[in-house]
Structure 1
Amino acid sequence: MKILVVEDDEQMGSLIERGLTAEGYEVRRVASGMDALIAVAHEDFNLAAIDVMLPQMSGFELCRRIRETGITMPVLLLTARDTVEDRVFGLDSGADDYLTKPFAFAELTARVRALLRRQSMGAQLTLELGNVVLDSRDLRVSVSGHTVAVSPKEFALLRLLCGRAGGVVDRTTILEEIWDGTSHIDPNIVDQYISYLRRKIDSTLAGIRIVTVRGTGYSVELTE
């Protein structure tokens, strides 16, 4: 597995590189967003760990530009900025997860393993429900044959709910499955992403609807 580390702090970057290498990963480390864009244009990576506070181009912007190229590898943002707004902005930029500094290296490697595992499992699945098709290889959602633009997190959330259609998925499960835990992120982010999906997925055309189960979580049901 090959990981791209984008970190301009030499000490932090070296620490992450040595640690991931010791875990058996092949690591390519760069110090700027432009160098990262050049790297992803010429090399294949299984995952990118990107510091948000980069010179000239922020990690948010770098993530957005990587997604614009069509690259769907998991992206883990690393940052000392831990407000809900920052986390939501990072996830909306196309990141798959968000780790706040300072962090224990064991947590970083656990997040990396979880993202790689999810990517490996998702790449094998195409899920169809109602008039919705979820293509996990390209993170593509189509409704009645028309592509609907969604972020990686929106896709993962919709896939989780559709994969358990007819049952209730509680908030804790959603946070653990999609955001890899409940301790580092505001639970209200679940409501925000459900709202995003409802605005994008027309239940009449999709043949499914996302139902709120008060006090518990959410469920996807087929419409008549």
Structure 2
Amino acid sequence: MIIEDDTQLNTAISEFCRIKAWDVVSNKDGLDAIYTIDSEDFDLYIIDINIPRINGLDLLKHIRKTDLDTPVIIITASLEIQNFASAFENGC
């Protein structure tokens, strides 16, 4: 699952995954992503921190409440060290 609000980046990551023959579900909004996460199982999450309505760090916390094993990759343009620390503390 890819959660990225930048349309070009979302498309690029999605296309790369499809080229690798992976099934891809993408969202551009944190709240929409919550509904998808709660209704499907995924093998990998790629999450931007700065997305609308529910940020990527809160999504990570939501995922980790029920899923401790699925890998999560956090992507961001943010340079705030606290964002990185929080992401690692929550299992990315």
> Scaled by the length of structure 2, what TM-score is found?
0.89
Residue aligning to 1:55: 52
Residue aligning to 1:24: 21
Residue aligning to 1:40: 37
Structure-1 separation of matches of 2:39 and 2:47: 18
Structure-2 separation of matches of 1:26 and 1:14: 14
Residue aligning to 1:90: 87
Unaligned runs of 5+ in 2: none
SS at match of 1:50: strand
Once the two structures are TM-superposed, the CA of residue 17 in structure 1 deviates from its matched residue by 0.4
Once the two structures are TM-superposed, the CA of residue 28 in structure 1 deviates from its matched residue by 0.4
Please tell me the residue identity of whatever aligns with 2:12. L
Aligned residues: 91
- State, as a whole percentage, how many aligned pairs show the same letter: 27
Tell me whether 1:71 sits opposite 2:58 in the alignment: no
Residue aligning to 1:5: 2
Structure-2 separation of matches of 1:12 and 1:32: 14
Residue aligning to 1:184: none
Once the two structures are TM-superposed, the CA of residue 88 in structure 1 deviates from its matched residue by 0.9
Aligned counterparts, 1:1-224, within 5 A: 4-68=1-65, 70-72=66-68, 73-95=70-92
**Which of these two proteins has the greater Rg computed from alpha carbons?**
1
SS at match of 2:82: helix
SS at match of 2:85: helix
Instruction: Give the alignment's Cα RMSD to 1 decimal.
Output: 1.3
Please tell me the residue identity of whatever aligns with 2:44. L
SS at match of 2:25: strand
Q: Which has the higher strand share?
A: 1
Unaligned runs of 5+ in 1: 96-224
Once superposed, which parts of structure 1, at least 4 consecutive aligned residues long, lie more than 6 Å away? none
SS at match of 1:27: coil
Once the two structures are TM-superposed, the CA of residue 13 in structure 1 deviates from its matched residue by 0.4
* Higher relative contact order, structure no. (Cα contacts within 8 Å, ≥ 6 residues apart): 2
